[in-house]
Structure 1
Amino acid sequence: MILAAVLLFGVVLIGWFSPRVLGRLTAGGISPCTAIAWWLLTALGVLAGALGAVLLLVLPGHGPATAITRVLHDCWAAVGHSDLPGLDPVAATFAGAALVLAGARLAVASARRRKRGIRLHRRHLDVLRLSGARPGPTLWLPEDRPIAYSLGGRDGLIVASEGLAARLSRPELDAVLAHERAHLRGRHHLLTASADVLGRALRFVPLMRELPGAVRLLVELAADRAAADRHGSGTVRSALLSIRAADGPRRALGMAGGDTEIRLRLLTSYPIGRSRFPARAKAVAGGTLALLAPPAFATGLLFATGLVSCW
């Protein structure tokens, strides 16, 4: 039970305090795609760590935990697993029940999210068919308000209004459409949907509670950068200023979504045109560290405590 308890402690530590660290790293000017990877992989690491801890409790003989803790058993006999046999069935029962409950909440939230997304996408396709327009990646609405957003899924769709085309210059309109295409190409709808499901089902964990808002802002920053690489940050910035009022379905990703002030400020300082290799390397290295943080912390703490007790 020692290894499971230490692993759970690592999960709690990462789940409660990582948002501060991730927030500071994000504010430090790293690539939005890198920040997205770090946030999501940290959440995945917390989930995997919690699952691993529960499995160590419920598996017969605690799986590999017995072999690991046997190395420290002689030095740590006073608090060892064998001295507290009565706690095992109780801890395993509660841990198993918590795992089943969390899994059910995730399944229900995911099913509801998917059902609403499919319904929303079908409504837009119905509008496209009824309007007599040809099926294509962009649906133009006869609306005077400047509207631009995208819907994910197998048949990704960009929705824009005629008022948007009338208000913006041609370069600005191209930048807006490039922003929405970046959402579809980067599967940002899937990323935000995953974050929303985790935030709704596991809201009691600070990391999961802050995950949806962070990912939604970061995908907008990533799409801004993709559009700025092609059309220039000044063009993206002027287009964003022209359509600052968010409009569109709540589950869509719109050009005016996210924190507009942050996006406008970062558009003036983005290093446009640099190689993406360093950002990808940072994303892989930092993401791997974030994913393995709970078990790495648990292993380090376990062996450090064992060495101290043997000293």
Structure 2
Amino acid sequence: MFWLSAILGTAGILAAAAAVGAAIGSVHRVPMGAGRLNLAGLALSYPGLNPAEWLLIGLAAVGATAITVAGRATWRQRSAYRSLLGRLEILGALDGHPTVKVIAGSRPEAFCAGYLRPTIYISHGALELLSTPELDAVLAHEHHHRLLRDPLRFAFGRILSQALFFVPVMRSLGDRYADLAEVSADRAAVRASAGRQSPLASALLVFDAGAPPGASGISPERVDSLLGRPAGWRLPRWPMTASIAALSALSLLIWQASGVASAHATFNLPFLSSQPCMMILTLLAVMGCIAAFRRSRARSRGISFRHGETASQRPHDRAGRAQCGER
């Protein structure tokens, strides 16, 4: 599931970059004298855009919006992770586990955070409430996230789902991968417990009892997995079809635009600098894409953001997502 998301996300990012590149490639720097520029001023006051120019402006707006949103999401992920680390009171390393840090707090918590070098954090309250078999199961669960660098994968998926607003299946794939990653970590915990499910199950109940009021505990997918039931999730047909169609259409438009840019689209830097109308049209296109993206994201999510969460949430959480940003 992660690799499917990565392939679609990479294709979307490349398409966005190619869209911007096609527009940039059509800009020609032609030196012009001030006299010639003044003579052309009247005609350029009311520019007539040909279809190729409109196409390039639209493609550039889509690509620039995707790249801008991706940069903003990356910055927010990094800032939230730093904020999280700043709020943690680390008491020291857990005996016998150099990669596990003990943090202050009476509420039972355990999570994995960090992108290139993930670290496991467990609260002092969890150490007091968990038995030795339960603690071993919890640590095996989080070590699985650490070995696969799930925090980095989760962050990558969230950035792509926000930036590639024209690939609607990205959010579903990211959520599903988070569920599967949590189930996979549960299985690793069961294997570490010699095939016994009871240590992990009882640990989950401890974390669930210590969760804030109203917080959702164990996800149905994890319960089904612990009970040996097969997963019932299917790849969403229509979002997947719409995503493939959007990527195909965008690729076709970029290919067509690249072919006609040199012959029909004549973006001239001196002309552009003398045409406020052209600059306004370009800015309006970009602002329109950003506004449409924000409205669609608000409708699709419909929930309040939670800032500063961790890379792989405590084991009782629904999907153990890397919440080093917003969700």
Find out whether 1:260 has 2:203 as its counterpart: no
User: What is the aligned partner in structure 1 of residue 13 from structure 2?
Assistant: 47
Mapping of residues 130-169 of structure 1, within 5 Å:
131=91, 133=92, 136-169=98-131
Cα pair 1:143 1:162 within 8 Å, conserved: yes
Cα pair 1:147 1:160 within 8 Å, conserved: yes
Mapping of residues 283-294 of structure 1, within 5 Å:
none
Tell me, in whole angstroms, the C-alpha distance in 1 between the residues paired with 2:66 and 2:187.
36
User: What is the aligned partner in structure 2 of residue 12 from structure 1?
Assistant: none
Amino acid at match of 2:190: A
Structure with max Cα Rg:
2
Tell me, in whole angstroms, the C-alpha distance in 2 between the residues paired with 1:161 and 1:245.
15
Find out whether 1:36 has 2:15 as its counterpart: no
Find out whether 1:244 has 2:208 as its counterpart: yes
How far apart are 1:237 and its partner, in Å? 2.9
Change (3 A) 1:54 1:121: same
Aligned residues: 213
User: What is the aligned partner in structure 2 of residue 304 from structure 1?
Assistant: none
User: What is the aligned partner in structure 2 of residue 208 from structure 1?
Assistant: 170
Change (3 A) 1:42 1:155: closer
Residue aligned with 2:60, SS: helix
Cα pair 1:150 1:184 within 8 Å, conserved: yes
User: What is the aligned partner in structure 2 of residue 120 from structure 1?
Assistant: 84
Residue aligned with 2:208, SS: coil
Tell me, in whole angstroms, the C-alpha distance in 2 between the residues paired with 1:114 and 1:167.
32
User: What is the aligned partner in structure 1 of residue 273 from structure 2?
Assistant: none
Cα pair 2:15 2:250 within 8 Å, conserved: no
User: What is the aligned partner in structure 1 of residue 188 from structure 2?
Assistant: 226
Q: Which 5+ residue runs of structure 2 have no aligned equivalent?
A: 27-48, 231-242, 253-327
- Aligned-residue CA RMSD (Å): 3.9
How far apart are 1:269 and its partner, in Å? 2.2
Render the CA deviation track for 1:190-211: whole Å, top value 9, x for unaligned: 1111122223334464223434
Tell me, in whole angstroms, the C-alpha distance in 1 between the residues paired with 2:168 and 2:221.
22
Q: Which 5+ residue runs of structure 1 have no aligned equivalent?
A: 1-34, 61-84, 249-255, 272-289, 300-311
Change (3 A) 1:218 1:103: same
Tell me, in whole angstroms, the C-alpha distance in 1 between the residues paired with 2:174 and 2:206.
26
User: What is the aligned partner in structure 2 of residue 11 from structure 1?
Assistant: none
User: What is the aligned partner in structure 1 of residue 288 from structure 2?
Assistant: none
1:269 aligns with one of 228, 253, 263: 228
Cα pair 2:108 2:207 within 8 Å, conserved: yes
Deviates more, 1:206-215 or 1:239-248: 239-248
Find out whether 1:170 has 2:150 as its counterpart: no
Cα pair 2:154 2:174 within 8 Å, conserved: yes
TM-score normalised over the length of structure 1: 0.56
Residue aligned with 1:137, SS: strand
Change (3 A) 1:142 1:122: closer
Residue aligned with 1:145, SS: coil
How far apart are 1:247 and its partner, in Å? 5.2
User: What is the aligned partner in structure 2 of residue 90 from structure 1?
Assistant: 54
How far apart are 1:57 and its partner, in Å? 7.0
Amino acid at match of 1:89: E
Cα pair 1:203 1:209 within 8 Å, conserved: no
Choose between structure 1 and 2: higher helix proportion: 1
Amino acid at match of 2:134: E
Find out whether 1:111 has 2:90 as its counterpart: no
Change (3 A) 1:244 1:204: farther
Cα pair 1:179 1:227 within 8 Å, conserved: yes
1:179 aligns with one of 119, 126, 141: 141
